Copies of this chain bind each other. A is one copy, B any other.
Amino acid sequence: MSEQNPNQTITHILETFEAALKSGDTAAAVALFQPDGYWRDLVAFTWNIKTMEGREQIAAMLNSQLDSVKPSRLKIADNETATEADGVTQAWITFETGVARGTGFIRVKDGQIWTLLTTMTELKGHEEPKGFKRPMGAEHGARVDRTSWKENREAELETLGYEKQPYCLIVGGGQGGIALGARLRQLGVPAIIIDKNERPGDAWRARYKTLCLHDPVWYDHMPYLPFPDNWPVFSPKDKIGDWLEMYTKVMELNYWGATTCTSAKYDEAAGEWIVEVERGGEKLTLRPKQLVLATGMSGKPNLPKFKGMNVFKGEQHHSSKHPGPDAYKGKKVVVIGANNSAHDICGALWEAGVDVTMVQRSSTHIVKSNSLMDLALGDLYSERAVAAGMTTMKADLTFASIPYKILHEFQIPVYNAIRERDAEFYDRLEKRGFMLDFGDDDSGLFMKYLRRGSGYYIDVGASDLVADGKIKLKSGVDVVELKEHSVVLSDGSELEADLVVYATGYGSMNGWAADLISREVADKVGKVWGLGSNTTKDPGPWEGEQRNMWKPTQQHALWFHGGNLHQSRHYSQYLSLQLKARMEGIPTPVFGLQQVHHLS
């Protein structure tokens, strides 16, 4: 084969690929892939969030979808050039389908497609009104009885949910619900966000006082309105609360604070949900066509059941209810758990001069915040990445372009480097008896997060307190029982306690579905989150994508949204497009609706 430059390599393969797709020649299309090639599609081809692994799965998808999708105009994206390194040629691509425009990323190895990412960017005819299409604002010309923006907005706030039903109801007004609400508004999808707290941002304000975001700012931008370049790297909780509050206002979201959902039931005949809510004491019924639970990864507290919890005379609460250290000076506090919340809470207690013991029942993956920033995120989400021309969109898509199946392979070297860089730090912790891990396969923090959403601590200082013995530690033990004033551990020791904090994590989001809808529906959709990696707390079989997140579920018109700020931002794009398509009556033939293998 003659020598080609990277652009030619990519252009050639795209042309061949497009020709095969256009003629419906699945076999020819599939042959262009590596035998172990991957195609990850976000909505454009599959109307799903789906990774096809290997030629067989790719073929199955094309056979199902090709006729309806009508892909065309596959090419290297404007103003982009293909690059080559280490035998891999790659490029940003764009394409169209019958109803949409898309962006993607392709990696080619030995003349065959190794990974292909295709994502839906916008629906034709329903492009967001931005840039050249931004709304005029002022209505030029004159018209009798013209209403002002303010009047229109007030009318909307008065009627939506009353005379006029929202197309979409979002339960949960944290960053997930808010990001999705912003996208839906830009797409003209009437939506209401409801949250039990009064003001947007309250979920953050209510947390313990020293809490700051653990992810750095470049990772955390909301859609449309990034944090300014003087925003702190790790946002204090109240600053995030304020940002979310103002974002909700300027993005013109219909946000009902102090509102709880008491029940929801899908009316098959009417094709809508019947949702009972209480809004500031008033009961009303909403009838959205689509229901999104954006109640949060850290939404449903997981409370353990220990013997003697009813006997204990001191205070006990889940970490999510912990008010901070102020009331506990001079007291003894026992914290059950050794992951993120436990460390934050123990650290704050120690700073307030409280006698605190951390009880570690299983190992924790610890990464120093700086190391995570530099080594794990730095190429995509950092000031140096920005300075080198990385945009949030490209960072998100680059990350999305690595198939989950092999993502751990990319992560392992990063965490090896981290292990080396911070060897002394880890040593000190282990000497103290702290049980460390780096994930089941040493693939580190992000895999742990994707697989189980827990089991780690991004160290911002508490680990040194543990290593130095300032936060007392009991590790490799279980809780046997609580007595009136103490916690008895499996090594026979008994810890006096005035307060026990259960930093014991959170349950699967379908627990909310059980509470709000029914056990039956919760079981119908199954466990939320996790990949099926057959690692701790993420049992197989392999599912290849986050269970139930941002995509159709087994319950018609029920969706889950959320994740960290990056996922809330990025995946709100795809969920909003799926909802918009349905509202517009655009056919959305879903390929490979996920099967349910676990109930929680």
Are B132 and A383 interface neighbours, CB within 8 A?
yes
Contacting chain B: which of A8-16, A163-171, A243-251, A307-315?
A: A243-251
Q: Is A238 an interface residue (CB 8 A)?
A: yes
Are A144 and B353 interface neighbours, CB within 8 A?
yes
Q: Is A280 an interface residue (CB 8 A)?
A: no
Contacting chain B: which of A50-58, A108-116, A123-131, A271-279?
A: A123-131
Determine the distance from Cα of A374 to Cα of B242 in the docked complex, in whole angstroms. Answer: 37
Are B369 and A236 interface neighbours, CB within 8 A?
no
- Residues in chain B near residue A352, CB distance under 8 A: 144-145
Determine the distance from Cα of A383 to Cα of B136 in the docked complex, in whole angstroms. Answer: 12
Q: Is A146 an interface residue (CB 8 A)?
A: yes
- Given the interface pairs A148-B209, A209-B150, A250-B243, the reply to whether A233 lies near B143 with Cβ below 8 Å is no
- Residues in chain B near residue A249, CB distance under 8 A: 242, 245-246
- Given the interface pairs A134-B217, A235-B137, A461-B142, the reply to whether A228 lies near B230 with Cβ below 8 Å is no
- Residues in chain B near residue A347, CB distance under 8 A: 142
- Residues in chain B near residue A591, CB distance under 8 A: none
Q: Mark A249-273, 1 if CB is under 8 A from B, else 0.
A: 1100000000000000000000000
Determine the distance from Cα of A435 to Cα of B354 in the docked complex, in whole angstroms. Answer: 79
- Residues in chain B near residue A233, CB distance under 8 A: 134-138
Determine the distance from Cα of A140 to Cα of B351 in the docked complex, in whole angstroms. Answer: 13
Q: Is A462 an interface residue (CB 8 A)?
A: yes
Are A134 and B231 interface neighbours, CB within 8 A?
yes
- A216 to chain B: closest CB distance in Å? 9
Which of B131, B210, B387 lies in contact with A229, CB distance below 8 A? B131
Q: Is A3 an interface residue (CB 8 A)?
A: no
Are A210 and B140 interface neighbours, CB within 8 A?
no
Determine the distance from Cα of A162 to Cα of B130 in the docked complex, in whole angstroms. Answer: 45
- A335 to chain B: closest CB distance in Å? 15
Are B243 and A464 interface neighbours, CB within 8 A?
no
Are A351 and B142 interface neighbours, CB within 8 A?
yes
Question: What 9 A-B pairs have minimum CB-CB distances, sorted nearest first?
Answer: A137-B232, A246-B246, A149-B236, A138-B234, A138-B212, A130-B230, A137-B234, A150-B238, A142-B461
Ordered by A's residue number, 22 sampled pairs between the chains whose C-beta atoms are within 8 Å are: A131-B229, A131-B383, A131-B387, A132-B384, A134-B232, A136-B233, A137-B232, A138-B213, A138-B232, A138-B233, A142-B347, A142-B470, A144-B350, A145-B352, A149-B236, A149-B237, A150-B209, A150-B238, A186-B230, A239-B250, A242-B249, A246-B249
